[in-house]
Amino acid sequence: MSTASSLHTRRKTRNSVMMTLCVVAAGIGLAWLALILGALVYKGAAGLSFDVFTQMTPPPGDAGGLLNAIYGSVVMTVIAVIVGTPIGVLAGTYMAEYGRFSKLTTVVRFINDILLSAPSIIIGLFVYELMVRPMGHFSAIAGAVALAILVIPVVVRTTEDMLNLVPNALREAGTAIGAPRWVVIKSVAYRAALSGIVTGILLSIARISGETAPLLFTALNNQFWSSNLNAPMASLPVTIFQFALSPYEEWQQLAWTGALIITLTVLALSIVARSLTGRREDK
């Protein structure tokens, strides 16, 4: 009897110890992340002002803003999305519709998943070899292509997943009234999966808006206002990288503010994306 009850106590104790450790783990993890976000808001908000959005990046030791960097980021992101989204949506369409059970789809899915988590600096090197070296100079368009290559796997993945969720009865209904396959895809499947596909695009924007590594040696950076796509262009992440590692206090402050702007953008995009699919699940 006493051995049984001591075994019981031992098991109970071990359970409490392990469960406490799990709570501690959750506490450490969440506190650590809260610490990072707290520091970001505290340091970033200090430099947040109207000037940040209206002034150019300053020379060392001067006041200024991040206008040209923000502009560059927006331009390159827009081009990347315009280039990457159609390719991603089409590839996802093939995998979920025409070639759902083909061998090609299995291979593409595997390779796409690897591209999805491949180091982005490798993509930067690839675009350097592909565009910068032949052209002989860094350019915004090379940066946009590097970002587009990061957009594609995200969009492929979500498009395929969302089209796979569309019930086959809908497609059969479309086919039964004589619509050809592509009309069924365009007017039935795309429409049913629209919010999911938009989510994928938003997530891909969230992903590339903070990417630094692929821009370092494609778009490089630019201290001045430039809207020439064939020339180096500033971007928010690369500017943050350069300013944060500088010894000048004004630059470091701008780096923190830029970091806050990027984080808020990314979080807002992710939340909007999630609420789109969330509503879908409720239906």
Partner 1 sequence: MSAVQEALPAVRGSRDAIVRRFALTDAIFHGMTRAAAILVLVLLGGVAISLFAGSWQALSTFGFSFLTSESWNPVTEKFGALAPIYGTIVTSAIAILIAVPLGIGIAIFLTELCPRPLRRPIGMAVELLAGIPSIIYGIWGLFVLAPFLQTTIQPFIISVFHGIPGLNSLFAGPPYGIGLLTSSLILAIMVLPFITSITKDVFDTVPPVLKESAYGIGCTTWEVTRRVVIPYTRIGIMGGVMLGLGRALGETMAVTFVIGNAHRISTSLFAPATTISATIANEFTEAVGDLYTSSLVALGLILFVITFLILAIARYMLMRIDARTGA
Judged by beta carbon, residue 78 or residue 107, the one nearer partner 1 is 107
- Residue 68's contacts (CB-CB under 8 Å, 6 or more residues apart) are 56, 57, 222, 224, 225, 226, 234
Judged by beta carbon, residue 75 or residue 260, the one nearer partner 1 is 260
> Quick one: which of 87, 221, 85, 204 has its CA closest to 143?
221
Q: Shortest distance, CB of residue 189 to partner 1, whole angstroms?
A: 12
Dihedrals phi, psi of 78, to nearest 5 degrees: -60, -45
Q: Shortest distance, CB of residue 194 to partner 1, whole angstroms?
A: 17
Joined tokens for residue 92: 């996802």
Judged by beta carbon, residue 48 or residue 87, the one nearer partner 1 is 87
- Residue 103's contacts (CB-CB under 8 Å, 6 or more residues apart) are none
- Other Cβ atoms less than 10 A from the Cβ of 77: the count is 23
Q: Shortest distance, CB of residue 144 to partner 1, whole angstroms?
A: 15
Q: Shortest distance, CB of residue 207 to partner 1, whole angstroms?
A: 7
Judged by beta carbon, residue 58 or residue 237, the one nearer partner 1 is 237
Residue with tokens 């071990």: 14
